[in-house]
Amino acid sequence: MELRQVGTIAGKEFWDRIRNRWVLAVALVFTVFALVIAYFGGAQQGAVGFRSIGVTIASLVSLVIYLIPLIALVLGFDAIVGERERGSLDLLLSMPITRFELLLGKYLGLAAALAFSTIAGFGLVAVVLAAQLDLPALFHYFGFMASSVLLGMAFLSIAVMLSVFAADRTRASGLAIAAWFFFVLVFDLLLLGALVVTGGSYGGEIFPYLLLLNPADVFRILNIFTLDDVRTLYGLATVFPRTLAEPWLLGLVMLAWIVTPLAVATWRFRK
């Protein structure tokens, strides 16, 4: 594998997003939503202004679970199939570059653009709130930012895999929307429905492990379980065992969600 070739493709994908102001737009969306949640999240209780890092992160987690997967899937669904439809894929592959180098370069470039916009958007909020946060609170907030980047990279990996398998952009976009609905909306409803139907007599022991099959749930647990007051509010203390909630373990699970779809995409793209 030639790293220079991968870097060239990645750089082109990244700077294309910079030039069309995609990164700026996403960063601005993150900043606005995060500031509104931080200062007006308690408006329904008659309190306006920053309250606590736990409440802020819990509110941001609910936002990020909907927003970042959607942005990542929209960003990557046509990474390969789009090149194929435009007729530029054959031209790229006629150059001294392998299919794996092309796939990896595209993913890394898109991942860099998504990570940059996420860090820039939420990082600006950290600067604004820095005077009101102590060191442990900043640590939790930067952990939230890092896990948000991992969440985006996991769904971007899924998007690139779908782009490799799809026959055209229309089908790729449909698969991306279906993936968002499944992981963000349907997955948890299926698990809860199964528990309700069985009265909790079946599946209760494996329920925490099933949550690891959804990167959105891994992200939620990774952020919520480290905050004692919010963990109790969400009820995770009684559902998810502490032995599975180690940040390093959940981080490895999230990395697996990044690597596995990419590995499947690589296998399919080489055929």
User: Per-residue confidence of the chain (271 residues) as pLDDT tens digits?
Assistant: 778 888 989 999 999 888 888 888 888 888 888 888 877 755 555 555 566 677 778 788 888 999 999 999 999 998 899 888 888 888 888 888 888 999 999 999 999 999 999 999 998 888 887 777 778 778 888 989 999 999 999 999 999 999 999 988 999 999 999 999 999 999 988 888 877 777 656 556 777 788 889 999 999 888 877 665 555 555 555 566 667 767 888 889 999 999 999 999 999 887 6
Phi and psi torsions of 45, nearest 5°: -90, 5
CB under 8 Å to 174, separation ≥6 — which residues? none
> What does the pLDDT read at residue 91?
83
Residue 107 structural domain: 3-270
Provide the token pair at 18.
């910079």
> What does the pLDDT read at residue 41?
59
DSSP string, 7-64: HHHHHHHHHHHHHTTHHHHHHHHHHHHHHHHHHHTTGGGT--S---HHHHHHHHHHHH
Q: How many domains does the chain have?
A: 1
> What does the pLDDT read at residue 202?
59
> What does the pLDDT read at residue 228?
59
Neighbours of 62 (CB within 10 A): 13
Neighbours of 1 (CB within 10 A): 8
Contact 38, 50 (CB under 8 A): yes
Give the angle subtended at the CA of 212 by the CAs of 126 and 142, to the nearest 5°.
10
Contact 159, 73 (CB under 8 A): yes
Q: Could you give the C-alpha distances from 182 to 17, 177, 185, 217, 226, in angstroms and in order?
A: 27, 9, 6, 12, 26
Give the angle subtended at the CA of 166 by the CAs of 25 and 171, to the nearest 5°.
70
